[in-house]
Amino acid sequence: MKTRFRFSLLLLLASLLLLSSLQAQGLNASNQPDILKKIGIDQRLGEQAPLDLEFYDEAGNTVPLQQYFGEKPVILTLVYYNCPMLCNLVLNGLTKNLKPLSFSAGEEFDIISLSFDHRETPALAAEKKKNYLKDYDRASAASGWHFLTGDSVNISRLAEAVGFRYQFDPVTKEYAHAGGIMVLTPQGKLARYFYGVDYPSRDLRLSLVEASENKIGSPVDQLLLYCYHYDPRTGKYGLVIMNVLRLAGIATVLVLVAFVIVMLRRDRKMAVSARA
């Protein structure tokens, strides 16, 4: 009897614990959608970034955004420098995948990393730049990778224009935000978006070639662009089967033509030799 009572009591306690756990999870689930609705990256492909905005460079000078546009495509990263995790992963992923490219920041393209935390200072931006220039290890990057800060008004205007939604969490005292980068044309139009924290080197190269309107890159890049197509849904370049089949067909025809020419020449040589 006592054993049965104890078993029933333990079962009751376990049920209460399970119920309280489920209620807590339900409470968290009900709060989660509200947070998720406030953060994300909405693509604004083809739209113009507001280049009249002003920010602060690593030395604390006021600089117009226009200063970094006009000649080269630009990779834009919206991060904040004291971010405990995601922003570092974004910058690390970008740096890692830029290293294999023959293109260099400061030569074929520029990079703008802007802190969306208006409390952060140029001194903090300068320290961040120093660390990433050391990791990237390209001489031209010192003049081509810009770490900026700004006031809340200009930051919000740029973030809204490029579709970057973030939210300050008063509980954690941190920002909730998504991970990703954007590629803009030399005129400041949004050309490509990449999501997450890993951006394939091939895709970065192709996006820069496209954004530059083919002013950089090689004939091989043009061939790859013919075979690969940017998918806005995934933020990646995917193989276009029909284009590959067309190229394969053209290559087959060229090989056959070359074979026929070689055979005709051989037959002529053999005929001349026979007459002699």
In a domain, 180, yes or no: yes
Of 212, 189, 5, the closest CA to residue 108 belongs to: 212
Same domain, 24 and 142: no
Sign of CA dihedral 141, 142, 143, 147: positive
CA distances 231 to 121, 123, 238, 249, Å, are 37, 38, 7, 25
Q: Which CATH number fits the domain that encloses residue 203? A: 3.40.30.10
Q: Give yes or no: residues 168 and 83 share one domain.
A: yes
Q: 94 and 15: one domain?
A: no
Q: Of 181, 39, 59, 77, nearest to 125 (Cα)?
A: 59
pLDDT at position 37, please? 72
Do 71 and 180 fall within a single domain? Answer: yes
Return phi, psi of residue 54, to 5°: -120, 140
Would you write out the chain's pLDDT as a tens digit for each of its 276 residues?
Answer: 445 445 444 443 444 444 344 344 443 444 554 766 789 999 999 999 999 999 999 999 999 999 999 999 999 999 999 999 899 999 999 999 999 999 999 999 999 999 999 999 999 999 999 999 999 999 999 999 999 999 999 999 999 999 999 999 888 889 999 999 999 999 999 999 999 999 999 989 989 998 887 554 444 444 444 445 556 666 565 544 434 334 444 556 455 556 656 666 766 766 666 665
pTM of the model: 0.70
Which of 214, 231, 265 is the last residue in one of the domains? 214
Element (H, E) at 236: strand 236-239
Same structural domain for residues 137 and 108?
A: yes
Q: Structural domain tally of the chain?
A: 2
Q: What is the dihedral of CA 39, 206, 231, 87, to 10 degrees?
A: -20
Residues 99 and 203 in one domain: yes
The pLDDT of residue 14: 43
d(CA 265, CA 204): 46
CA–CA separation, 73 vs 70, rounded Å? 8
Same domain, yes or no, for 117 and 75? yes
Which domain covers residue 136, as residue numbers?
Answer: 54-214
The pLDDT value recorded for residue 97 is 97
Domain-ending residue, one of 182, 214, 246: 214
Q: Of 168, 198, 214, which closes a domain?
A: 214
Residue 254 inside a domain? The answer is no
Q: Are residues 61 and 131 in the same domain?
A: yes
Note whether 26 and 62 are same-domain residues: no
Longest CA–CA span in the chain (Å) reads: 120
pLDDT reported for residue 210: 87
